[in-house]
């Protein structure tokens, strides 16, 4: 194998390793399964209000409205806030109502944002 081909192969391997490493760092913010609905509702109201999350997708007749539960809507709103503000000091805490996951919570036509 020539020197040029070896260099090209080495570069390709480095790019693939870099892409895989980045994918492993993907994180979404979702409602904690152990948090009661009343606490989730308070955090959801904040996220969609003063928090500045984009909650348009969880409105009636939108892709993430169903299932129509506080937990599902909170997960979408928490993640919207987290993705929007994570590089500006925002976090996935919501008074212990949320957790980080490495598993994309998107389903069907409901797509959860991920911003690198």
103: pLDDT strictly greater than 70: yes
Domain count, the chain: 1
In a domain, residue 51? The reply is yes
Q: Which residue, 88, 99, 101, is CA-closest to 32?
A: 99
- Residue 43 belongs to domain spanning: 26-101
In a domain, residue 21? The reply is no
In a domain, residue 16? The reply is no
The DSSP bridge partners found for residue 33 are none
- CB contact at 8 A, 46 and 95: no
- CB contact at 8 A, 44 and 73: yes
Q: What is the pLDDT of residues 32-79, one digit of tens each?
A: 999 999 999 999 999 999 999 999 999 999 999 999 999 999 999 999
Look at the block and give the residue holding tokens 């937990």.
71
In a domain, residue 38? The reply is yes
Q: How many residues does the chain have?
A: 116
H-type alpha helices, 1-116 = 3-24, 37-48, 70-85
Distance between CA atoms of 30 and 11, rounded to whole angstroms? Answer: 37
């Amino acid at each position: 194998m020539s020197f040029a081909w070896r260099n090209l192969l080495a570069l390709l391997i480095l790019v693939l390793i870099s892409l895989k490493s980045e994918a492993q760092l993907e994180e979404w913010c979702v409602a904690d399964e152990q948090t009661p609905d009343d606490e989730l509702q308070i955090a959801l109201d904040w996220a969609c209000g003063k928090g500045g999350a984009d909650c348009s997708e969880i409105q009636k007749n939108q892709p993430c409205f169903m299932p129509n539960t506080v937990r599902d809507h909170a997960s979408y709103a928490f993640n919207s806030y987290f993705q929007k503000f994570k590089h500006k000091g925002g976090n996935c805490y919501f008074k212990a109502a949320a957790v980080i996951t490495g598993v994309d919570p998107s389903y069907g036509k409901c797509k959860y944002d991920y911003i690198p």
